[in-house]
Structure 1
Amino acid sequence: MKKIALLLLLSTSFIIAQKKKSTKMGLTTLDELKMTVYDKDSTATAVVLYEHANRYPDKANDEIPRTDYYYRIKILDKASFDLANIVIGIYKDQRVKDISAKTYNLTDLGTMDISTVLEKDIFSITENKNWKSKKFTLPNIKKGSVIEYKYSITSPYLGIDDWVFQSDIPKVKSELDVSILGNYQYNVKKIGYLKLDKNEPSVDKKCVYVPGIGNGACAIYSYGMYNIPAFKKEDYMLSKKNYISRISFDLKSRTSYRGEVKNYTTTWKQADKSLKESFFNNQTSKKSFFKKSIPEAILLTENKLEKAKKIFSFIQNHYSWNGKFWTNEDAKIKQAFQEKTGDIGEINLSLYNSLKAANLDANLVVLSTRNNGIPTKIFPVIYDYNYVIVKTIIDDKEYFLDATDKFLPFGELPVRTLNGEAREINFKEKSTWVLLRPKYKSLVNVVAKLNLSQEGVFEGNLIINKNGYFASNQRKKISSKSEDDYLEDFEAKNIDVEVEDYNVKNLTNLDKTLNELFKIRIEMNEELGNKIRINPFIFDRVSNNPFKLKERNYPVDFAYSRYKNYYLNLEIPDNYKIVSLPKKKAISLPNKGGKFTLNIVQRNNIINISSRIHISKSIFSSEDYFALKEFYKQIILSEKGDIILEKI
């Protein structure tokens, strides 16, 4: 919500013309009620038949902008009955008016049965000090119902909400009409991969008459998309707001009747000042407090890198993150330090001040997390950012730091921050863009050495080594449970595996390889017969393809490259011969994106299998989607290959 006060003076004829564009109720047809499936998406549980928004100045309400909304939706399955629960959010001085809602059902006689929402069934809810909502539920919802509703919102703010063409259900038709007084300039952006079917901008040169000044023009925007597919979420994607098709309006400037221009977009220099005063809540100048709070032995450390690591570890272990992201609401790092808990901003601002207190070079870096969307770089919109980290330079080497995760080593950032470029805020010089990347290679090595006995029992050792994000995730998992509970979960995940002994190394040494050693026993369902079949991919087997869509119009974003290696040394009884082994395989992704190799070597009664899955790039374009899909398909097929043994 963009919140800037507005006052307009417009002619009555223009307002009436704009108001006529609003869609009226009563458009539901018998054919729509008879529809049982949407022909362009047979899996759809509902489909938007038509939706429309029309924004124009409301002459009857002091020319405050009014937006008339209209929706008509076909319910095809009970899974979408919740679409009948309508919530209209309004901010502060906004008002909702003229709510009308009906449910249409087909009777046994082939006629329409209409149920209407009564005024007494519309509820006003206060959500918090800034937000309220109107709520109602359309009655008599059945499989096959059509719901139709409209309402209007008047808003004294210049901000125009995004119009979202695409949603989780398909749409037949979605349209937006907006009229904007000529002395207001907006940056209008189309976001997403779908093309507009309707884009008809125009100008009404006589839409406004100001006494003593004369006629003024209005910009008229008219957009539409038709036959819009549902947006399908899938693994390895950023926030869907980056890709979902919509129109966005950002206020650029306003010109008064005297010709004075007020700019609402700002420079990064102005944004830096705003960040320091408002978003950082003046919490960037507390180094004297932290100079007293940090142990003196840390501050006296001569080696700069070691001193920075000790400060990082001190803040990292002093705080517990409360799960909240960066907010500009009453950030108080002194209080947070004393309570030993805080949000992202309080913890990392404490780290920033501590590094400054130790006379180390440090800057703050603001970013938008992976789930929050990619911020615009064209002009600064400080509300795009929901996270802050710290950058320090030691011996000409850059380190990006986030002290909110107790299981990440110095210089490594949480995966949630890997969202392209971030903005380094320099309060003395010009701010710059920086690209955030993982510091450590994320690698898993699984090594199993097993003997197969005549009784059908595998016995031996399993070693799992992890680095990078695989290691930090595993440390978090191990530390959250008792050893017994952890091993119980391990055995539940790996069916038929019994852990006889367990040892872990480097659990708290975060910049070292995490090493787990298991002594294991795996019992087959029965003793060995004349012919047996064994799948050798006992651990870390790929069983599901994460890519299932027929088409994906947005990138695949793994966040970081990853490497998984599996080695098996299997000794079989002397009185068995090997009849069949899995087939060797080697496939690669385009543009050196990754590779999969499967090698099998047999020496007498010992079988050695090595499998490697390497994803060398973190981001793949939508053009590479089918190659990735096929890549994982071939991995799954290869790992289904069995060893077949026969008794001699």
Structure 2
Amino acid sequence: MKKKILLLTLLFSATFLNSQVEKSSKMGQTSLDELAMTVYDKDSTATAVVLYEHANIYLDKKNGFNTRTDFYYRIKILDQKAFDLANVVINSYKKEKIIDLKAITYNISENGKIQTTNLNDNTIFKVEESEAWTAHKFTFPNIKVGSVLEYSYSKISPYSGIDDWYFQSDIPKIKSEFDAAILGNYKYNIRIIGYLNLDKDEPSINKKCIYIDGLLGDAACAIYSYGMYDVPAFKEEDFMLSKKNYVSRLTFDLKSYTSPRGKTERYTTTWKEADKKLKDIFFNNQTSKKGFFKRRIPEDILAIENQLEKAKSIYTFIQNHYSWNEKYWNSEDEKVKDAFEDRSGSAGEINLSLFNALEAADIEAELVILSTRNHGLPTTLYPVIFDFNYVVIKTTINGKEYYLDATDKFSPFGQVPLRTLNGQARVINFKKESNWVVLQPKTKSSINTSAKLKLNENGNFVGNLLTRRIGYIAQNQREKLSILGKNNYIKEFEEDNSNIEVDSYEVHFKDNLEKPLQEIFEVTIFMNDELTQKARINPFFFNRLKENPFKLKERNYPVDFGFAKSSTFTLSLEVPDTYKVTQLPEQMAISLPNNSGTFLLKTVNKGNVVNVITRFSLNKKTYSSEEYFSLKEFFKRIVIAESSYIIIEKK
């Protein structure tokens, strides 16, 4: 959420021009043609379409010259699946007010006329969601397939922040427009996010927007008018960062305010100024507690001479001392002393504790602020402090840089959690200018699976399975083992692989985060088909790719796997001497352009033993929208390859 800053109210005369007010959309625009629509011709799969939506911002004389935003929406329902759009929630923050809320459901009557059903005021519910937020909730009456839903309301706000305007959503829009008249002494950085272009972009200046009594006389307003037409629905798919990075929207960041007497207060500053503000406001002076931590770090850790080993021991000490409360950054509420005593804290409190502990041990440490993957990418054009919601620690030892996050008990030293790998992060150094870095995985993540199985006369495979995991794949598996415990883990494994029965199980290096995680299974695998004169066997028993995760005709945003990865599967399958192998899976070797990904399938038959080897590798974490079709085809061919069979026949 953007920082809400109270609007500085001036004494205006009543000469505020009505031209901006008149731009607000009026109710009652639904037509018979809209009601007769049964399908949206530009997207026949759409369950609903926004016919028109509009926001208009101006200063409202009747409400103390606070900022007023008039909202208007008109939506066509094409399918029952869209009936949830009849449930509307309008949120307001603290001193904001919602007024003039109206809603109408339109249908076609039996005689072909427009039939209207108005929302009753007593069916609008005001709910206090928290100390800061209030929700107005209502449901459109008499909704049917074919209905048009129309509603409007106004938000009165004493704050200077302007909420983002989303031109795009999960349903298509025919027309989306935004208008605003903003006093000239408020300066904003305005950005268009997303891959769509504006169809309407008409900024202007009204030099006699308002009269400021007794001070400046006529004052100017910046007039903004934006629009997008025939906006496609935003369709989410696997392996993407926060959709707010890609959904087309208009965003305003307050840059500065100049008072009538000429004094300017800057909100978007230089990074040098932002560094100080971060320390004072966000870190809440919690970066100068090394004395507290020096008294609490075990003396045997402080006595370690090797700097790297000492840093690792401090990291493990903080990591094991705390339980993360799943919160990221509590802003002004961070209190590392209280958190340490409670043995629980936010990511900010835990990692600020790590920062202080390293400093207490005379190990160089710096703060690294970032935006998590679910929060959106930070802008690098200028400081927007509220783009950031997380902090990790950087330490440099013997010239080598390490990035640390002690919130995750399964992250080895130098490996930050996946949630932090989100483009650029900002290293905050209070002695010199901060700088941008890109957090990278410590190692390439991989899983290697080796299986040795024998097909007995009963038609079952018996043998062993060995897996070896590294990097994030190991980290995720360690967490899963810790949460489930051995027995429940085996139970879940058997449920996920219904034809496999685990006879015994061992795990090695579960608690040694620096080592690869190894698991050994003794298994019995039951065939789907009876072992008769002829049988077919799918040899891809484990981690088989059964479905292509990429299904869109077009994807206008990158594919982000989070980290590069690889997997190897090796199978040695022995069939009874009474059978012969008559067919093997077709061998395959494919690659993505520029060798950014590879897949190999190799089969060898010697006597009654079949060896199957697959090697899969994604050599980078992010693939552009231009690479999407190659990636989609790559995965399609892997699905086909791993759907093939070994065929055996009785001799």
TM-score (norm 1): 0.97
Tell me, yes or no, if the aligned pair for 1:9 and 1:209 is still in contact at 8 Å: no
- Cα gap change, 1:246/1:9 in structure 2, threshold over 3 Å: closer, same or farther? farther
Q: Does the alignment pair 1:615 with 2:622?
A: no
**1:282-301 alignment, distance < 5 Å:** 282-301=285-304
Describe the SS at the equivalent of 1:628. Answer: helix
- Cα gap change, 1:530/1:90 in structure 2, threshold over 3 Å: closer, same or farther? same
**Which amino acid in the other structure matches residue 358 of structure 2?**
L
What does residue 39 of structure 1 align with? Answer: 41
**Aligned-pair CA distance for 1:105:** 1.8
Q: Does the alignment pair 1:597 with 2:585?
A: no
**Which amino acid in the other structure matches residue 114 of structure 1?**
T
Q: Deviations over 1:398-445 (max 9, x none)?
A: 110001111111110100000011111112221111110000220100
Instruction: Name the CA distance, whole Å, in 2 between partners of 1:292 and 1:8.
Output: 54
Instruction: Name the CA distance, whole Å, in 2 between partners of 1:541 and 1:218.
Output: 61
Tell me, yes or no, if the aligned pair for 1:9 and 1:208 is still in contact at 8 Å: no
Tell me, yes or no, if the aligned pair for 1:455 and 1:526 is still in contact at 8 Å: no
Tell me, yes or no, if the aligned pair for 1:366 and 1:425 is still in contact at 8 Å: yes
Q: Deviations over 1:457-477 (max 9, x none)?
A: 211111111000110111111
Query: Among 297, 305, 310, which residue is 1:307 paired with?
Result: 310
Query: Among 331, 345, 350, which residue is 2:353 paired with?
Result: 350
**1:14-413 alignment, distance < 5 Å:** 15-211=17-213, 213-413=216-416
**Aligned-pair CA distance for 1:330:** 2.1
> Larger deviation: 31-40 or 184-193?
31-40
Describe the SS at the equivalent of 1:236. Answer: coil
Instruction: Name the CA distance, whole Å, in 2 between partners of 1:14 and 1:622.
Output: 47
Instruction: Name the CA distance, whole Å, in 1 between partners of 2:291 and 2:394.
Output: 20
What does residue 574 of structure 1 align with? Answer: 577
Q: Does the alignment pair 1:625 with 2:628?
A: yes
Describe the SS at the equivalent of 1:15. Answer: coil
**Which amino acid in the other structure matches residue 451 of structure 2?**
A
**Which amino acid in the other structure matches residue 641 of structure 2?**
S
Tell me, yes or no, if the aligned pair for 1:572 and 1:605 is still in contact at 8 Å: yes
> Larger deviation: 502-511 or 264-273?
264-273
Instruction: Name the CA distance, whole Å, in 2 between partners of 1:12 and 1:352.
Output: 56
Instruction: Name the CA distance, whole Å, in 1 between partners of 2:468 and 2:218.
Output: 75
**Which amino acid in the other structure matches residue 519 of structure 1?**
E
What does residue 414 of structure 1 align with? Answer: 417
> Larger deviation: 328-337 or 218-227?
328-337
Instruction: Name the CA distance, whole Å, in 1 between partners of 2:474 and 2:382.
Output: 38
Q: Deviations over 1:566-610 (max 9, x none)?
A: 111111122222211111111111122111111111112211111
**1:483-562 alignment, distance < 5 Å:** 483-525=486-528, 527-562=530-565
- Please list every run of 5 or more consecutive structure 1 residues that lacks an aligned counterpart in the other structure: none
| Cα RMSD for the two superposed structures | 1.6
Query: Among 638, 641, 646, which residue is 1:643 paired with?
Result: 646
- Please list every run of 5 or more consecutive structure 2 residues that lacks an aligned counterpart in the other structure: none
**Aligned-pair CA distance for 1:342:** 1.0
Instruction: Name the CA distance, whole Å, in 1 between partners of 2:472 and 2:286.
Output: 31
Tell me, yes or no, if the aligned pair for 2:175 and 2:229 is still in contact at 8 Å: yes
Tell me, yes or no, if the aligned pair for 1:182 and 1:219 is still in contact at 8 Å: yes
Instruction: Name the CA distance, whole Å, in 2 between partners of 1:526 and 1:202.
Output: 74
**Which amino acid in the other structure matches residue 68 of structure 2?**
R
Tell me, yes or no, if the aligned pair for 2:7 and 2:66 is still in contact at 8 Å: no
Instruction: Name the CA distance, whole Å, in 2 between partners of 1:442 and 1:125.
Output: 47
Tell me, yes or no, if the aligned pair for 1:15 and 1:56 is still in contact at 8 Å: no
Tell me, yes or no, if the aligned pair for 1:184 and 1:255 is still in contact at 8 Å: yes
Q: Deviations over 1:294-340 (max 9, x none)?
A: 11111111111111111111111111111111111422222211221
**Aligned-pair CA distance for 1:11:** 6.9
What does residue 426 of structure 1 align with? Answer: 429
Instruction: Name the CA distance, whole Å, in 1 between partners of 2:22 and 2:310.
Output: 69
Tell me, yes or no, if the aligned pair for 1:600 and 1:607 is still in contact at 8 Å: yes
Instruction: Name the CA distance, whole Å, in 2 between partners of 1:591 and 1:4.
Output: 53
**Which amino acid in the other structure matches residue 226 of structure 2?**
Y
**Which amino acid in the other structure matches residue 474 of structure 1?**
Q
TM-score (norm 2): 0.97
**Aligned-pair CA distance for 1:526:** 5.6
Instruction: Name the CA distance, whole Å, in 2 between partners of 1:527 and 1:60.
Output: 82
Describe the SS at the equivalent of 1:235. Answer: coil
Tell me, yes or no, if the aligned pair for 1:11 and 1:207 is still in contact at 8 Å: no
- Cα gap change, 1:131/1:524 in structure 2, threshold over 3 Å: closer, same or farther? closer
Instruction: Name the CA distance, whole Å, in 1 between partners of 2:260 and 2:399.
Output: 54
- Cα gap change, 1:171/1:526 in structure 2, threshold over 3 Å: closer, same or farther? closer
Tell me, yes or no, if the aligned pair for 1:344 and 1:387 is still in contact at 8 Å: yes
**Aligned-pair CA distance for 1:9:** 5.9
Q: Deviations over 1:233-263 (max 9, x none)?
A: 1111110110000111112223344444332
Describe the SS at the equivalent of 1:481. Answer: helix
Tell me, yes or no, if the aligned pair for 2:17 and 2:210 is still in contact at 8 Å: no
**1:449-468 alignment, distance < 5 Å:** 449-468=452-471
Instruction: Name the CA distance, whole Å, in 2 between partners of 1:105 and 1:481.
Output: 53
Tell me, yes or no, if the aligned pair for 1:555 and 1:621 is still in contact at 8 Å: yes
Tell me, yes or no, if the aligned pair for 2:118 and 2:141 is still in contact at 8 Å: yes
**Which amino acid in the other structure matches residue 331 of structure 1?**
E
Describe the SS at the equivalent of 2:333. Answer: coil
**Which amino acid in the other structure matches residue 607 of structure 1?**
V
Describe the SS at the equivalent of 1:634. Answer: helix
Instruction: Name the CA distance, whole Å, in 1 between partners of 2:213 and 2:334.
Output: 49
Describe the SS at the equivalent of 1:60. Answer: helix
> Larger deviation: 111-120 or 409-418?
111-120
Instruction: Name the CA distance, whole Å, in 2 between partners of 1:183 and 1:366.
Output: 31
> Larger deviation: 7-16 or 414-423?
7-16
Instruction: Name the CA distance, whole Å, in 2 between partners of 1:77 and 1:52.
Output: 24
> Larger deviation: 163-172 or 93-102?
93-102
Instruction: Name the CA distance, whole Å, in 2 between partners of 1:526 and 1:563.
Output: 32
